[in-house]
A and B are shown apart, each in its own frame.
Chain A
Amino acid sequence: MKQLVTNNLSKLGPLIGLILIMTILGFMSENFFTVNNLLNLLRQISINALIAFGMTFVILTGGIDLSVGSILAFGSALTAGMLASGMDPLLAVFIGLLAGLAMGAFNGLIITKGKVAPFIATLATMTIFRGATLVYTDGRPITGLSDSFAFEMIGRGYVFGIPFPGILMIIIFFILFLLLRKTVFGRQVYAVGGNEEASILSGIKADRVKIWVYSLTGMLSVLAGIILTSRLNSAQPTAGTMYELDAIAAVVLGGTSLAGGRGRIVGTLIGALIIGVLDNGLNLLNVSSFYQQIVKGGVILLAVLLDRRSK
């Protein structure tokens, strides 16, 4: 009985934390609980949440992906370049996403076939993809993108007053939730992260599972990048720098174990919300961005410490 309570408590921990933070911010700023601000919040978190969803899969297999920010930058630049040259926006987005998939697959291949530790492999590709972005853009932002409605919609649009990126993020959340919960692939992700040897001996092609997981993360990172590009109406060669940290933080705040095999994507959504709420609330309170970082880091540390306690 006692175990049951603590079990559920540790699952609910992130949610309780989120509610707590929101309540406090609600008291401190009257602008926090306004419809406008909450919709704003949804849009703000969508980029980090999408990357963090992918990161959840990677971390569940026991890996890590440090290259997400660079993949985001390269995918954005590539898409923006094609748009600027007058390509059909949907086709440009599609090719951009494929490029993300390919970059992720490249990570996966190095990790599985090359047997390089994920941290090292993606540390290297983080640098490579960033360099490729700088080469491609010549170090300058790409502007003068298409003024097509469809492309504007991705980052700046609203449907029934709700920001489109938020809607996109939530749809993808549900798809990934089902993928993890209801499909053979999802089950394999948990098994490979939990005990790779046992998974292989159970007939699971662990390498293939991992390659797909990194590919998925690459594609989601580029999607996040396209939202960013659409919102800014330009692609920055330095876009996405340090984004991997916020994504990893969201996953960890959501209770997913860095050792792999344990965790839930709902947790990651809550983790992304916690980070987003902190950024948003501290901005509303006019806290200097220097202090914001200290607070954010402190909250992450506190969350992880509390999690240790309950175990």
Chain B
Amino acid sequence: MGNQPFVKMTAIEKAFAGNQVLKKVDFDVQPGEVHALMGENGAGKSTLIKVLTGIHQRDGGTIEVKGEEKTYSNPKEAEKDGIVVIHQELNIIPHLTVSENMFLGKEKTLGRTGILKKKEMYQETLDHLERLGVTSIHPNETAGDLSVGKQQMIEIARAISTNAEMIIMDEPTAALTDREIESLFKVIESLRKQNVSIVYISHRMEEIFQICDRITVLRDGEYIGTEQVKETDFESVVKMMVGRELGERFPARTSTVGDKVFEVKHLARDGWFEDVNFHVNQGEILGVAGLMGAGRTEIMEAIFGAVKKKQGEVLLDGEPLNIKHPRDAIQAGIGFITEDRKGEGLVLHLSIRENVALTNMKAISDNGWISSKREAELIDDLIGRLHVRTTGREQEVKSLSGGNQQKVVIAKWLGIKPRILILDEPTRGVDVGAKKEIYHIMNELTEQGVAIIMVSSELPEVLGVSDRIMVIHEGKVARILPREEATQEKIMQAATGGE
């Protein structure tokens, strides 16, 4: 390194409506480097990328690409210079084939006739995938039938087909299974060898320390610093991100575990899971680990009445519950924080007030009439207790950061005073500071005797937060481990079907 950087951004400034979101930010990427861009939600990462690719125009500073000063007015122009962004929400048209997606908008045709040269596109798709070392995708497959991980590969292949020299990946692993993450890393490795630069935006520390060369940290729109991954460690990066010592990553568990309150017996659903048995005690956190697709979410949905179960019993205080609709579960005192916050947890264009009220209608209404006063009191109390950072209860949840949106979802469920709370990937896409706050809330709830079931794909989180850990493998409970006995290795072994 030390050569000419591929991209060099210097003293970038950007303000929206008087609100300075980027303050003299420097950022440079060397050819063939994997460079992590880190910071809490709202630190300015995405704005920086948008300024680079011309979605936003900068107020100050310079952008150089291969030593030449550049200003793009839209992402298409940036793409011509080899800068491609792969967004978290993939740009794949599900009904089209892999190769049709690859060549979308730049189809190869016979002259100007509009007749497609299918064979040629097929072959090129194959070549590009091969260049990435991907052999498991067939160009004629329907893209929508592929897993998210494979769809992502199509996007990466599409990027290199346009001779991309720098690929910006925004939270690329958020929806991937462990195995898919592995293949993504292999692809990144081969791109690096072909001198393609990667900008890697992620909240997942483990990954960043595994594959990145350098880390640049932003905080509140300010440039904090750039470090060589080899010369830094987890704690210092977190400190750079939050601006203070965060202390222990997982707060110590303080509640005393009581008697059994909730039990699931012989739960089954054809093709998804069978004979699932487990229980949770009062004040306990039961972590649920397993590979993606093992059936963890589906089991929780069945307990909650969101999908039909084929057989099995759900018991609260030893009494069987008859749950046919989420409403029945809620009435029994079960809350469910889903993994898909935007798709299933919130009505995005409604206010915090309206969202939180959805699960709490009983508490704030009489005979179907809502009491605005009681509603306001309840919402203010909940957003205060959870430290939701907001301009007030009327703010649209769409405009909140990921961590704060998650707190609104939690607020929805605290209102019903749940006895059992199911959290599915509660900290996905949430920054470090907010993560810790969420762990604190979970601790507080268990102190009040709430039993928590937490599904998580992050092993450190499962190990750090749970009292007991249940591992699911292909729709069956593979193992239940007390916290003291659990290790990453034991969990992985059980999750992959080993003994």
Of B37-45, B130-138, B209-217, B362-370, the one touching chain A: B362-370
Residues of A with C-beta under 8 A to B331: 203
Residue in chain A with minimal CB distance to B371: A182
Residues of A with C-beta under 8 A to B344: 195, 197-198, 201
Residues of B with C-beta under 8 A to A262: 349
Residue in chain B with minimal CB distance to A179: B368
A197 touches B349 (CB 8 A): no
Of B193-201, B252-260, B352-360, the one touching chain A: B352-360
Residues of B with C-beta under 8 A to A185: 368
A200 contacts the other chain (CB 8 A): yes
B262 contacts the other chain (CB 8 A): no
The CA of A187 and the CA of B361, in the complex, are separated in Å by 9
How many residues on chain A are close to B (CB under 8 Å)?
Answer: 22
Residue from A195, A205, A261 with most neighbouring chain B CB atoms (10 Å): A195
A184 touches B365 (CB 8 A): yes
The CA of A183 and the CA of B357, in the complex, are separated in Å by 12
Q: Which residues of B (339-392) have their CB < 8 Å from a CB of A?
A: 343-350, 354, 357-359, 361, 365, 368-370
**Taking A187-B357, A187-B358, A191-B358 as contacts, is the C-beta distance between A203 and B347 under 8 angstroms?**
no
Q: Helix, strand, loop or mixed for chain A's interface?
A: helix
How many residues on chain B are close to A (CB under 8 Å)?
Answer: 29
A17 contacts the other chain (CB 8 A): no
Task: From the candidates A2, A194, A201, A203, name the one contacting B338 in the complex (CB within 8 A).
Answer: A201
A202 contacts the other chain (CB 8 A): yes
Residues of A with C-beta under 8 A to B304: 201
Residue in chain A with minimal CB distance to B360: A202
A199 contacts the other chain (CB 8 A): yes
B316 contacts the other chain (CB 8 A): no
A184 touches B350 (CB 8 A): no
**Taking A201-B306, A203-B359 as contacts, is the C-beta distance between A183 and B368 under 8 angstroms?**
yes
Residues of A with C-beta under 8 A to B338: 201
The CA of A190 and the CA of B354, in the complex, are separated in Å by 9
A187 touches B370 (CB 8 A): yes
Residues of A with C-beta under 8 A to B345: 198, 201
Q: Which residues of A (1-33) have their CB < 8 Å from a CB of B?
A: 2-3
Question: Distance (Å) between the CB of B342 and the closest chain A CB?
Answer: 9
The CA of A241 and the CA of B306, in the complex, are separated in Å by 41
A204 contacts the other chain (CB 8 A): yes
**Taking A187-B361, A261-B349 as contacts, is the C-beta distance between A197 and B370 under 8 angstroms?**
no
Residue from B345, B347, B357, B412 with most neighbouring chain A CB atoms (10 Å): B347
The CA of A204 and the CA of B349, in the complex, are separated in Å by 18
The CA of A3 and the CA of B306, in the complex, are separated in Å by 38
Q: Which residues of B (313-334) have their CB < 8 Å from a CB of A?
A: 325-327, 329-331
B306 touches A202 (CB 8 A): no
Residues of A with C-beta under 8 A to B368: 183-185
Residues of A with C-beta under 8 A to B27: none
A202 touches B365 (CB 8 A): no
The CA of A185 and the CA of B361, in the complex, are separated in Å by 10
A194 touches B347 (CB 8 A): yes
Residues of A with C-beta under 8 A to B325: 200, 203, 205
Question: Distance (Å) between the CB of B366 and the closest chain A CB?
Answer: 10
Question: Distance (Å) between the CB of A261 and the closest chain B CB?
Answer: 6
Question: Distance (Å) between the CB of B344 and the closest chain A CB?
Answer: 5
A201-B306, A201-B338, A203-B331 known; 13 new pairs, CB 8 Å cut-off, are A182-B369, A183-B365, A183-B370, A190-B354, A194-B348, A195-B343, A195-B346, A199-B347, A200-B326, A202-B326, A203-B326, A205-B327, A261-B347
* Chain B interface (Cβ < 8 Å from any Cβ of A): 17, 304, 306, 325-327, 329-331, 336, 338, 343-350, 354, 357-359, 361, 365, 368-370, 412
What are 10 pairs between A and B in contact, CB < 8 Å? A184-B369, A194-B347, A194-B350, A198-B344, A201-B306, A201-B345, A202-B326, A202-B330, A204-B327, A261-B349
